[in-house]
Amino acid sequence: MTRIDAQSPSAHAASEVISQLQSYFVNGLNDLTRTLGANNPFIGVEWFRDEGAHGGGVRYEATDEQLFNRGSVNYSQVHYDDDPTKKLSSATAISTIIHPSNPLVPSMHMHISWTQMRDGSGYWRLMADLNPSNPNSSDTHIFENTLSEAAQSYYEEGRAQGERYFYIPALGRHRGVSHFYLENFNSSDEESDKRFASLFGKKVINTYICIISNAIKERQEVEDEARRHQLEYHTLYLLQVLTLDRGTTSGLLIHNQNDVGIMGSLPSHVSTSLLLSWIGKLKGVQNDLLQVIVDTLGEGDKVLVDEKMKSALANVVRQHYMLHPNAIALQASGETISPTVNNHR
């Protein structure tokens, strides 16, 4: 099969920016593993939307289990050039999550995307957040400074939306320690916006690789308590992704051709005992969703989330929102909510 790219010049330009960011990050991570004496590079896995007729993508997955609990750097472009009835023309994105194995080294999530509508208008979405299981004030300070420098005059807006989006009401806490989310970004200067997205992504990538490189070298003595905190945090991460994250839900509702890739942010193990303790704290039918998630994972203080389990969880989330479409209103949002699913219809 062959992936057919979107025909729009704007989509093509966005694809260049985003694919370059993917290569830049993967190369940086591979260089890091070699510096640390390993030779297990990220491997590419391609997927196709409607056998490539409407695009698809490629994700690079971590193979070095000594360094990475889970790691995924995803590029995708979906388009409807042959279907003028769709509101959406194309969507091009990089979405990445890195979960280091060492619990003293922070996880990081980044998403940068260009969405173009049928009338030719479009907007960028930029997200970046630092997610440690055992917070380190120096890491947080460095990452926050990078967001401020990279986002420039948009920092306060993005920080405010990020704080709102990554908040978990049921637990009264945020998913991470530093959050940035800029939605519907378009300054009316296409070249300037493209450069902004590229520089933002590269600065976040450079800073994160610097943070984890130093942390891996300096924080080698790990106590059992730190490992326990990591498992608890990975469980919280799964809760947020499967019950609150609109991007995950939208991707699963739009199609079922990349379920494992969409679930690429999930860590390797979670505690269903801890998940059980949170049932009743969520809003409305989200408690029903959490119960089915627990039933699907099975009992245990440390349950493996492999590819088969990712596919099963993807179906659980998809079926839940097909049965309870209004429950999407219970999910996280910034100041504005993009009608992502409707745009694909």
Residue 128: the pLDDT is 98
Residue 342: the pLDDT is 60
- In the chain, where are the structural domains located? 9-222
Alpha-carbon span 227 to 165, nearest angstrom: 27
pLDDT band (50, 70, 90) for residue 332: confident
Interval 28-43 mean pLDDT: 90
DSSP 74-133: EEEEEE-TT-TTSSEEEEEEEEEEEEESSTTS-EEEEEEEEEEETTS-EEEEEEEEEE-S
pLDDT band (50, 70, 90) for residue 344: low
Residue 55: the pLDDT is 97
Write the pLDDT tens digit of every residue in 90-104. Answer: 999 999 999 999 999
Interval 240-253 mean pLDDT: 95
Which H helix or E strand runs over 33?
Answer: helix 9-35
Given a cut of 70, is residue 69 above it in pLDDT?
A: yes
CB 279 within 8 A of CB 286: no
Given a cut of 60, is residue 345 above it in pLDDT?
A: no
CB 316 within 8 A of CB 309: no
Tell me, which fold does domain 9-222 have in CATH?
oxygen-dependent coproporphyrinogen oxidase (3.40.1500)
Residue 338: the pLDDT is 66
Write the pLDDT tens digit of every residue in 136-167. Answer: 999 999 999 999 999 999 999 999 999 999 99
Interval 124-128 mean pLDDT: 97
Residue 339: the pLDDT is 63
Helices and strands, counts by H and E, the chain: 11, 11
Residue 81: the pLDDT is 96
Residue 215: the pLDDT is 95
Given a cut of 90, is residue 208 above it in pLDDT?
A: yes
Given a cut of 70, is residue 341 above it in pLDDT?
A: no
DSSP 270-338: E-HHHHHHTTTSS-TTHHHHHHHHHHHH-S-SSEE--HHHHHHHHHHHHHHHHH-GGGGGGS---SS--
Interval 257-263 mean pLDDT: 95
